Amino acid sequence: MSYSPLSVETLAARLGGVEAIVARLGRDVSQWRGREVGDGNLNLVFIVESEASAVVVKQALPYVRLVGESWPLPLKRSFFEYHALMRQEARDPGRVPKIYHFDEQQALVVMEYLHPHVILRRSLIAGVVHADLGEQLGRFLARTLFRGSDLSMPTSERKADLALFADNVALCDITEALVFTDPYWAAPLNRHTSPELDGLVAELRADVDLKIAAQDLKLTFCAHAETLLHGDFHTGSIMAHGAQARVIDPEFAVYGPFGFDVGMLIANFWMAYFAQGGHERFPGERDEYREWILGVAVTIWREFVAEFSRLWRTERTGILYPRALYEDQGHSLGAEQALGALLHRVWEDALGFAGVELHRRILGLAHIAEFETIADPARRAPCEAKALKLGRMLAVARNSLSDLAEIHAIARRLERGEIG
Amino acid sequence: MSYSPLSVETLAARLGGVEAIVARLGRDVSQWRGREVGDGNLNLVFIVESEASAVVVKQALPYVRLVGESWPLPLKRSFFEYHALMRQEARDPGRVPKIYHFDEQQALVVMEYLHPHVILRRSLIAGVVHADLGEQLGRFLARTLFRGSDLSMPTSERKADLALFADNVALCDITEALVFTDPYWAAPLNRHTSPELDGLVAELRADVDLKIAAQDLKLTFCAHAETLLHGDFHTGSIMAHGAQARVIDPEFAVYGPFGFDVGMLIANFWMAYFAQGGHERFPGERDEYREWILGVAVTIWREFVAEFSRLWRTERTGILYPRALYEDQGHSLGAEQALGALLHRVWEDALGFAGVELHRRILGLAHIAEFETIADPARRAPCEAKALKLGRMLAVARNSLSDLAEIHAIARRLERGEIG
């Protein structure tokens, strides 16, 4: 049948013939119970349960759910999500949901129900600590980014994959416009905490160096097809339960620069850091939690570097930096020098991407729950202002920042109001 | 019919039914005269003439002509050449040969016969001056590179085009291996003037910083899909007659960094500069010609910058650096600052690519006529050594060189043996 959106009422009739689902939920569809739980910006998401088991059914809508039918969006994003999930599973097994079924025409993916996992943002609002979080995320970044690049893949496969994902134009367009451009002018879909932030927003939009940095980063995002990105790797794309983190929603997948996923993810921890002041019951209540958040960022980068370096030394089988030029000529130190220089470029890009992410989540269309759930603008705005200021510094000074210790020292002083 | 290579004997029978050719050469194929003139590394090239006119027929062979059937090469390169020629014609009208006919299955392109143009290398060996050369080449670079990028094109078109050309894997592979990797180790297909250069070659292959620079540049070439490149833009891909220069042979076309075509082209003028010592009848005979060559390089870069800047100001209609962020907010100086920074990155990349081009043409598989026609190795080797040394400096120090005046001062001192 041609594409048709599912509903709770039609789930059983529509999916009762799919063997991969029946095998899990049982053949008696009268016992299936479905509910719609999509709280994202784009899609329908159902949980379908029976006595035996449960699955998630994610179906693309032909428009942006957050905005409505006035903003059409191709169903094919489901195809890209499916293909990205398959590659991520191969590159870091067990980190993404298991895929049970994909129907390209219906733009739907049936996958593992992660339970009782919650979207990580909820933990970051509630002040919940997850053990091993940064380690898992840092390794996921290293494995997916390294193994999706010409450092590892046969280049003919990478080029075919690049061509495949180059068609993910519509979702790229969202990133290109909403992350890199719209926050820096009065774009119609923008919103921000007003009037409390109006002055700072005007200042940022008049900041030529910042606007050049943002567009330099956009060029890097658009053109530097270094590896297959998740493309939307924030704390709303992570589900956590205790010491287990899982990664979901890679429908923005596209080839791009190594630093993009890294920077976007760390920026979301920094926003959670600055949001704590809006959630604590008394000043200082969340001080320990604030430090845990910064610690996660440190661990993500440390584990990313450690795992990327390990893969560099053991899986560098692609056309770039071949062993024939280094180790095989007795220049293993040269290979380490090249690794360090590459990681430094990733670091600089990541800081820049983090900077624009801090801006677009406060000035653009898509905001984050950590700030949005602070009901009082007088309390929300100062949290957001600190994130905006850090973002400006990161984007403009990304080539002259040494390490996270330096950046976190600045973040803490911003948080305490000592600088601004 | 299925693919079959043409020969002088079968030209008339095979092409006599093609209306685009008949319209030029006349219907009486008994009056057609064909000859094979392919002197390149890859393809069959015929000139077919009649009383009325003449055309060039270029047909891909299923292997590398220079090496033989042991190195297969896809016929589809003809498809990429055709598509690149069409785009170049649209972006800089009149600079490439007119296309009369394309047969994808036979991998053949029928095009304008450029007469009495000669391959520019022949002029550079003979000491022939062409007026307006740098101007035409600099403008061609600016127009094709600017108009093939997200600075100008609708990004959905660029992405579709990126996917199309991503399939040009086999020719990319030649560039990736032969330009960036093989010169820096004892690859089987390499050759160099031996034993005169053996010591310097060993030194370069032990130079870790150089080998890292070469691979950093390879990553840039492979991943930074900024614009549609010619991909093989050297002085053997230019035909000149008097003050007219034409550009041919874009079968290596692929999306890559702005600086690649620019750097490769200028490097070929630098090699012609250092080769003059092998062609002059007495020391100093070619001094004026040497300076003309350096002047062409200066003009290429100057015109490239001027035309790229003009297009930036008048045709910046793509998603990058939109006017909404700069001019429309009263920040036209900001747009100029962004342009300057972008051109500076192109400059640095171009110098790096020039450096590796200087190496691969002397150490790798594909050499150039300017050096190869110097029969005496004792005369050839010192010319090549100077180019190798300049190449090393460019690749490693590309981020700290100010302008061509500085580089040409060094080139002149190298040429005179004052430094080395």
CATH number of the domain at B118-415, please?
3.90.1200.10
Give the mean model confidence (pLDDT) for residues A191-212.
98
* CA gap B58, B107 in Å, rounded: 8
If contacts are CB pairs under 8 Å, which of residues 272-311 in chain A contact chain B? none
- The nearest CA of chain A is from the CA of B164 a distance in Å of 7
- Of B149, B169, B322, nearest to A156 by CB-CB distance is B169
In chain B, which residues fall in CATH 3.90.1200.10? 118-415
- Yes or no, beta carbons of B166 and A163 under 8 Å apart: yes
- Contact of A222 with chain B, judged by CB distance below 8 Å, is answered with yes
Chain B residues with beta carbon closer than 8 angstroms to that of A324: 181, 185
- Contact of A320 with chain B, judged by CB distance below 8 Å, is answered with yes
Q: Which of A171, A320, A363 to mutate to test the interface with B (most CBs of B within 10 A)?
A: A320
At B325, list the tokens. Answer: 């962020």
- Among chain B residues, the shortest Cα distance to A212 is held by B338
In sequence order, the 6+-apart residues with CB closer than 8 A to the CB of B116 are B241
* CA gap A178, A348 in Å, rounded: 21
Give the mean model confidence (pLDDT) for residues A231-236.
98
- Yes or no, beta carbons of B163 and A167 under 8 Å apart: yes
- Among chain A residues, the shortest Cα distance to B176 is held by A319
- Contact of B207 with chain A, judged by CB distance below 8 Å, is answered with no
The interface pTM score, or ipTM, of the predicted complex is 0.94
Residues B250, B143 contacting (CB under 8 angstroms):
no
Task: Give the per-residue pLDDT at B290.
Answer: 98
At A62, list the tokens. Answer: 């032909």
- Of A319, A329, A337, nearest to B185 by CB-CB distance is A329
- Yes or no, beta carbons of A215 and B338 under 8 Å apart: yes
- Contact of B342 with chain A, judged by CB distance below 8 Å, is answered with yes
Could you write out the DSSP letters of every residue in B303-339?
HHHHHHHHHHHH---SSSS-GGGTGGGT-HHHHHHHH
In chain A, which residues fall in CATH 3.30.200.20? 11-112
Q: Is the peptide bond before B195 cis (omega within 30 degrees of 0)?
A: yes
- The nearest CA of chain A is from the CA of B338 a distance in Å of 6
- Contact of A167 with chain B, judged by CB distance below 8 Å, is answered with yes
B86-125 burial, b at 16+ Cβ within 10 Å, e below that, comes to: ebbbebbeebbbebbbbbeebbbbbbbbbeebebbbbbbb
- The nearest CA of chain B is from the CA of A272 a distance in Å of 29
Chain B residues with beta carbon closer than 8 angstroms to that of A333: 208
One digit per residue, the tens of pLDDT, for chain B of length 420 reads 899 999 999 999 999 999 999 999 999 999 999 999 987 678 999 999 999 999 999 999 999 888 888 989 999 999 999 999 999 999 999 999 999 999 999 999 999 999 999 999 999 999 999 999 999 999 999 999 999 999 999 999 999 999 999 999 999 999 999 999 999 999 999 999 999 999 999 999 999 999 999 999 999 999 999 999 999 999 999 999 999 999 999 999 999 999 999 999 999 999 999 999 999 999 999 999 999 999 999 999 999 999 999 999 999 999 999 999 999 999 999 999 999 999 999 999 999 999 999 999 999 999 999 999 999 999 999 999 999 999 999 999 999 999 999 999 999 999 999 999
Residue A67 has pLDDT above 90, yes or no: no
Amino acid found at A24: R
In sequence order, the 6+-apart residues with CB closer than 8 A to the CB of A407 are A351, A390, A394, A401
Instruction: Give CA torsion, residues B207, B208, B210, B213, to 10 deg.
Output: 170
- Among chain A residues, the shortest Cα distance to B325 is held by A185
β-strands A108-112, A54-60 pairing: antiparallel
Amino acid found at A274: F
- The nearest CA of chain A is from the CA of B329 a distance in Å of 8
Q: What is the 3-state secondary structure (H, E, C) of A205-228?
A: HCCHHHHHHHHHHHHHHHHECCEE
In sequence order, the 6+-apart residues with CB closer than 8 A to the CB of A232 are A175, A249, A250, A251, A252, A264
Give the mean model confidence (pLDDT) for residues A93-112.
97
* CA gap A388, A357 in Å, rounded: 10
At B258, list the tokens. Answer: 């702005």
Residues A144, A228 contacting (CB under 8 angstroms):
yes
The CATH homologous superfamily of the domain defined by A119-415: Aminoglycoside phosphotransferase (APH), C-terminal lobe (3.90.1200.10)
Residue A4 has pLDDT above 90, yes or no: yes
Helix/strand/coil percent split, chain B, to 5: 55, 10, 35
Strand runs labelled E in B176-328 = 227-229, 238-241, 244-247, 254-256
- Yes or no, beta carbons of B222 and A162 under 8 Å apart: no
At B340, list the tokens. Answer: 């300057």
- Yes or no, beta carbons of A215 and B325 under 8 Å apart: yes
- Contact of A336 with chain B, judged by CB distance below 8 Å, is answered with no
Task: Give the per-residue pLDDT at B67.
Answer: 83
Give B31's DSSP letter: G
Q: Is the peptide bond before B188 cis (omega within 30 degrees of 0)?
A: no
Q: Which of B321, B328, B343, B399 to mutate to test the interface with A (most CBs of A within 10 A)?
A: B321
- Among chain A residues, the shortest Cα distance to B165 is held by A163
Give B399's DSSP letter: G
Task: Give the per-residue pLDDT at B68.
Answer: 87
Q: State the pTM of this model.
A: 0.96
In chain A, which residues fall in CATH 3.90.1200.10? 119-415
Give B420's DSSP letter: -
- Yes or no, beta carbons of B215 and A156 under 8 Å apart: no
Neighbours of A376 (CB within 10 A): 8
**Helix, strand or coil, per DSSP, at residue A234:** coil
- Contact of A74 with chain B, judged by CB distance below 8 Å, is answered with no
- Of A156, A181, A324, nearest to B325 by CB-CB distance is A181
Q: What is the mean pLDDT of chain A?
A: 97
- The nearest CA of chain B is from the CA of A334 a distance in Å of 6
The CATH number of domain B11-112, selected from 3.60.21.10, 3.40.50.720, 3.30.200.20, 3.60.150.10: 3.30.200.20
Neighbours of A207 (CB within 10 A): 18
Give B224's DSSP letter: B
Amino acid found at B368: I
- Number of cross-chain residue pairs from A and B with Cβ atoms under 8 Å apart: 149
At B255, list the tokens. Answer: 């999306």
Task: Give the per-residue pLDDT at B376.
Answer: 97
- Yes or no, beta carbons of B215 and A166 under 8 Å apart: no
